[in-house]
Structure 1
Amino acid sequence: MNKRLSQTWQKFRQSFSVGESLNTTVETGKAVLEAAKTFQEQGASVELLKPLLQNSSSLLDVLCSPLAQVVGAGLPFVPLGMALLKYSRDITKQDPSLEDCVFIVSQAAYLESVEEILSLYPSINSDANPNINKALTKQLQKLNDIKLDYESASNAVACFHESELAKAFNQVLSVRLAAANISNANAHILTQRVAWNTQRYIIKAWIESGDAIKNIIQPSFGEWQKEQQKFFSIDEYLKTYIASKPLDLVFDESFSFKDIYVPLKAKPVDNNGKIDEKVDSLDLETWAKENLLNSNNLEQVMFVQGGPGRGKSVFCRMFSDWVRQHLHPIWTPILIRLRDLDSFESRLENTLEAELKISFIQNDKNWLTNKNTRFLFILDGFDPNTIF
């Protein structure tokens, strides 16, 4: 049986004995924002949740508010969503359906992901007086007609960024970013980052749910904890091994690689590996970024060659950190200095598992096939004549 988001919201209204009193999205956005602020200051209560349900049509209505207010305060959207489920269960003495849980939790998790990703872009958050237009109102109203059945809800739990919910939420956020004068290209990257990042907050919600949904959500509590630990492990790897690389000091000098880095120029080669002297040199970083962001190139390998001391290793450091800052978790960079590896297997996957002492690799045999993570391997020092 398909269930609409509007039906879920109406179900909660009935549970809390409230009706609908507002229609304009600007006002409904204020209702969600005020509820989150009050929750942050005072905690959950039935009296807090009643005006939230009465004066809004979804949690995503909060995107009508200035982004600085949504992002800067670090509002607790996941706990707010879990409170809705818990109090509804206590009032009705019935467990919510999987569809109800996914509708509520996915919105709350998506908003916390919005907070995290957009907080990285101060210029976006300076949008204090947004132009809330008809396009945003229309896109928010479309959310009411989103349908979920048990299978589609289960799929959203397993991999949110591939779900229909993610597509619908991204469309709302895209329109909201357009109102803040963000270009379509940048908005696309931002919405994708938010959607991919939502999974960790969905997991957070299931772990913190307690008895509210314990009989509904699969897999087990222990498996969700393992998934959460994997995300923590990736965060630690990026902080320790990627973010730090540009800041390493050059030999015994007082300056870092970042201080002296000069973007490289390069020329393409033909099928025989010969430099094409007829074309102008291109900016290597721009070329690499364009290829990485081209969805038609996902199965391709980028190969950069040059003589010793030309800056290839420094480029690997800098590009890895750029991916971390601007594309993670769409892409998670893994920087490997091949000269540091002791042995090589016939398959790269086996080499990585044997040589890289990273917990999310060592503790998860399915780390390469998990749909919620995607890795960009940057191999520094590749020499086909000596490695394989």
Structure 2
Amino acid sequence: MSLSIRHWLAERHIQLAQLGHPNAQISGIAFRIAQDMESKSLDPFAISVVTEVLELPFNAAWQVTPAISQLTVGLLRILSRKKPLRRNEGTWLTFQVAYLNALQGILEQESQLRRPWVNRAEVPAPLEADELLAEPQLIGLIKTLRPGRLTDSQAEQALSMVADSFLVKQMNNLAIAWFVANGAEETEANLLTQRLSNGLAGYLLTAIAENPLPLAQLQKFVRLGNLAAWRDPASEASMEEISEFPPTTLPLDLDREYYRAGLLRDLSEPLFAEPFALKDLYVPLKGKPIHPSLSPVRGNFSEQPPTNKGQQPDGVDLMEWVTGQLEDKTSIAVIEADAGCGKTSFCQILAAHVAGEFYPNWMPVLIRLRDVTLGQTLEQTLETAFPIGRFTDTDGWLSPNSPPCLLILDGLNELPRSPQTERHLVSLMDQVLHFHTQKVGATGFPRHKILLTSRSATLDSLLARNYRQSVALPLSAHLRRIAIEPLGQDEFRQWFQQWAKLQSKSIAQTYFNFLKHGGVFQKQPPSKELAALLTRPLMLYLVGILHRDTRVDESIFQMHSTQVKFEIYDRVCRWLLGEPATDSGPLPELIREGLAHASRSLEAIANLLDGRHPQQLRHQMQVAALTIIQTGQCQATPAAIQNRLDPNSTTDVLAPCLPAFFFRSLPRGWGEGEIG
């Protein structure tokens, strides 16, 4: 037997969509529902709010999702007060809440991107707002989840495997059918659901962290609570002496858990406004450790004996190398590569990996150095870009009572531009070295780990100075450097396999043949400049979307390096705005039944232009980009951009109209409300 929260509220003339954020009214309603469940001898499995939402049309589902999620949280708390929830009961209710919140996140992203399928979903159907969808497949899948059934072993599997568990796969099948019923094509629905699954662990962590007492049995699965694995790798020998907490207890810090959950949720963010996320296309990178004797500066420090004939060691898995560096307390890890080679993408994947697998032994903190303002110490500098860390406070995230931090400082070459940039670079490195040598644990080793990313030229310029801080060893002695290698045969193979899943096998095979015929995979390619560019993940993707929509041909292989970069940028802009190629007539829309997600459709272009001429939007993009560059911080307020476009305007209506392919609104803590 099941209980429908929507029907229960309707019988009492309570409008679910008007309940809004958590408040006393929601708590009171949850209390009454719990009483009704007790009188009818219903257990928590009678509640199946995921099915209640996914049997509704798009507009109705979107309106009720936040309130029904909060009502379920209220029920969870009330039910646990009457009788402690069994693990499978708590798991069932928590996954309902997490899945609804993850779905809400996807719907908000898709609406902001103005997807064509959302246009179709928002068209009023010939039924009342509260009537249910009638697709037979959807109805059949709803029956598999209502009423709920979850054994203790299935609950443990769900908590351990999350997206790969049987419970989530059931929910995913229902979500796919719901997306299709609301106008998405099947492949697109699969990609949207995959994005939802990518970030589900973050929403699960949030739900458990906000309800630690009712869900005490679930805490260990998201690395909360009294963990036997919790240890301070730098000072575990004397933790009891420096902290009032015993070694196996970590106090709950909601700000820290929200941030950690955010790193996991970010895995569901659309990549370049595509239906898929970075995680869906990401290929593990390889790198070559740089021996100090091979760097431009020769120091007396030696990391390891040189390989035969002075050659660098073979390429290693970059993730394995970085996680291995966590055991090295004496050095600063540095990842080097040119633009587009995957440094920032790797940092995002790394931060989520450490947040999910290494916490609380390590707490990842990802900071873009282009967002910082130089202070007197590294703590002050980093706090300008990451205030929630409270790095300068005695009880902040760098205190002995908090987990050791992995400080991922991305983009040493991206410090805010100014006439003093070079001096600021030296000052920042001075702060980094001082922090590294002074911020030590009880064992005498540094308590926190620093990982820097940079273009090689920026770091080499520092090393060429034979730069020394106020310590005995030169800068090179403190660094463990690794250079990201260009994509090789294995990486290309994996990338095209992923591309085939995200687009289609025919699209991936045609693109592969195009590059093969151009000699890109040869040891001595005819066009070395383009071949070198295409060994970078970013350029491989950009040329891939151009080739997918017939915006590139064999002539690109005859271009020089600088010409190739300009042509790719110009063609991407024309592709985005729906402009025809140079000296050609209007481009007909590609007809790909069942592959609308794999082309730039006329509907998507119309949504972006929003009544503007392509040249008008291009002008707005150029003005916005110039404004952002001139700030020196890679970001600007919508008002500053609008003022450039129209000095007499008093509104900042431009922000939502800029293409997400090039621009994005910065998340909280990174200049909320600004565009970067």
Aligned-partner residue type, residue 171 of structure 1: N
Quote the sequence identity (%): 15
> Which residue, 260, 265, 272 being the options, matches 2:522?
272
CA 80–312 in structure 1, closer or farther in 2 if over 3 Å, else same: farther
SS at match of 2:98: helix
In 1: Cα distance, 2:10 partner to 2:57 partner: 10
Aligned-partner residue type, residue 65 of structure 1: L
Q: Does residue 308 of structure 1 match 2:289?
A: no
1:222-301 correspondence to structure 2 within 5 Å: 222=250, 228-232=258-262, 267-268=515-516, 269=519, 272-273=522-523, 285=541, 288=544
CA contact (8 A) 1:160 1:196 kept: no
CA 307–166 in structure 1, closer or farther in 2 if over 3 Å, else same: farther
In 2: Cα distance, 1:224 partner to 1:185 partner: 41
Q: Does residue 38 of structure 1 match 2:40?
A: no
CA contact (8 A) 1:78 1:108 kept: yes
Deviations 1:77-125 (A, max 9, x none): 543222222211223xx21111101111101110111111111223425
Deviation of the 1:284 alpha carbon: 5.7
CA contact (8 A) 1:135 1:175 kept: yes
Q: Does residue 82 of structure 1 match 2:73?
A: yes
Structure 1 match to 2:32? 47
SS at match of 2:66: coil
> Which residue, 86, 94, 101 being the options, matches 1:105?
94
CA 131–276 in structure 1, closer or farther in 2 if over 3 Å, else same: farther
Structure 1 match to 2:428? none
In 2: Cα distance, 1:160 partner to 1:312 partner: 43
> Aligned residue pairs: how many?
262
Aligned-partner residue type, residue 182 of structure 2: A
CA contact (8 A) 1:160 1:166 kept: yes
In 1: Cα distance, 2:138 partner to 2:9 partner: 12
CA 227–52 in structure 1, closer or farther in 2 if over 3 Å, else same: same
Structure 2 match to 1:352? none
In 1: Cα distance, 2:262 partner to 2:153 partner: 29
CA contact (8 A) 2:515 2:521 kept: no
In 1: Cα distance, 2:147 partner to 2:542 partner: 41
CA 146–163 in structure 1, closer or farther in 2 if over 3 Å, else same: farther
In 2: Cα distance, 1:28 partner to 1:276 partner: 70
CA 165–276 in structure 1, closer or farther in 2 if over 3 Å, else same: farther
TM-score, normalised with respect to structure 2: 0.32
CA 73–216 in structure 1, closer or farther in 2 if over 3 Å, else same: closer
CA 149–313 in structure 1, closer or farther in 2 if over 3 Å, else same: farther
Structure 2 match to 1:126? 122
CA contact (8 A) 1:160 1:198 kept: yes
TM-score, normalised with respect to structure 1: 0.53
In 2: Cα distance, 1:152 partner to 1:307 partner: 58
Aligned-partner residue type, residue 157 of structure 2: N
Deviations 1:22-52 (A, max 9, x none): 7xx9968979x95575374622121255679
CA 30–106 in structure 1, closer or farther in 2 if over 3 Å, else same: farther
| RMSD between aligned residues | 5.0
Structure 2 match to 1:220? 224
CA 83–39 in structure 1, closer or farther in 2 if over 3 Å, else same: farther
Structure 1 match to 2:48? 58
Q: Does residue 176 of structure 1 match 2:157?
A: no
Structure 2 match to 1:116? 105
Aligned-partner residue type, residue 308 of structure 1: S
CA contact (8 A) 2:159 2:218 kept: no
CA contact (8 A) 1:109 1:202 kept: yes
Aligned-partner residue type, residue 267 of structure 1: L
Deviations 1:229-257 (A, max 9, x none): 33435759879869x9xxx9xx99xxxxx
Deviation of the 1:69 alpha carbon: 3.2
CA contact (8 A) 1:35 1:52 kept: no
Deviation of the 1:177 alpha carbon: 1.1
Structure 2 match to 1:69? 60
CA contact (8 A) 1:78 1:205 kept: no
Q: Comparing both chains, which one has the higher relative contact order based on Cα–Cα distances under 8 Å and sequence gaps of 6 or more?
A: 1
Deviations 1:278-308 (A, max 9, x none): xxxx996477479xxxxxxxxxxxxx9x853
CA contact (8 A) 1:113 1:201 kept: yes
CA contact (8 A) 1:80 1:108 kept: no
